[in-house]
Amino acid sequence: MLFVGTNEPRKNLESLLRAYAELSPMQKQKCHLRIIGASGWKQGHLKELANQLDISRFVHWSGFVDDAELEQSYKAAKFLVLPSLFEGFGLPIIEAQKYATPVLTSNVSAMPEVAGRGALFADPHDYQTIRAAMARLIDEPLLRADLGRRARENSNRFAWQNAAIEFEMLCKNLLIEKGKNVESIAFLQNT
């Protein structure tokens, strides 16, 4: 499983590690946890926590990676796990879904709206619900396949081409409301 994001308190990595530690030995063996992201603030204790929880051999800290490695990581992951307490948007959700990678994320903030039907949701304040959802994604390949299909469909909502078309329609509608001639925005079609 893959986590992508800056290591900072709102990303809820401590709960993620505690949830991971509660998985069965077989589940941990089948699915290691890779954490990609730059070090943030107030998270220096996380590697020590992984040691205390006896999961260090299953948790891989990659730090910052380039775009090519990030893309390969999304493609190779069984699923993305992003149990944040708060996200303004949650870009890793859409990045993972673009590659048909299922997502486990929080049921709060922007995550449910962004993830759509291509995700499982957990209460970020209860690491046991995170653990239960991780266990399902590890143990149920048919669920992963279904979520992966729905993830790719969901990511299409955020494609740049679709955003450009929607922006053009918005501009046209605003001009019509103001009584302007729609041809006056021909420059949009030529840019």
Q: What does the alpha-carbon distance between residue 102 and residue 87 come to, in Å, rounded to a whole number?
A: 18
> Looking at residues 119-147, what average pLDDT do you find?
98
pLDDT given for residue 130 in this prediction: 98
Mean per-residue pLDDT for 8-24?
Answer: 96
Residue 145: pLDDT band with limits 50, 70, 90: very high
- Picking from 70, 81, 95, 67, the residue whose alpha carbon sits closest to that of residue 155 is 95
**pLDDT for 148-166, tens place per residue?**
999 999 998 887 676 667 7
Inter-residue contact 102 to 118 (CB < 8 Å): yes
> pLDDT band for position 44 (50/70/90)?
confident
State the amino acid at position 116 in one-letter form. Answer: G
In this predicted model, which residue has the larger pLDDT, 176 or 107?
107
User: Does the pLDDT at position 88 exceed 80?
Assistant: yes
- Edge-to-edge strand ranges of the sheet holding 80-82: 59-63, 33-36, 2-4, 80-82, 103-106, 119-122
Confidence of residue 137 (pLDDT cuts 50, 70, 90): very high
Domains for the chain: give ranges and CATH numbers. 2-158 (3.40.50.2000), 160-189 (no CATH)
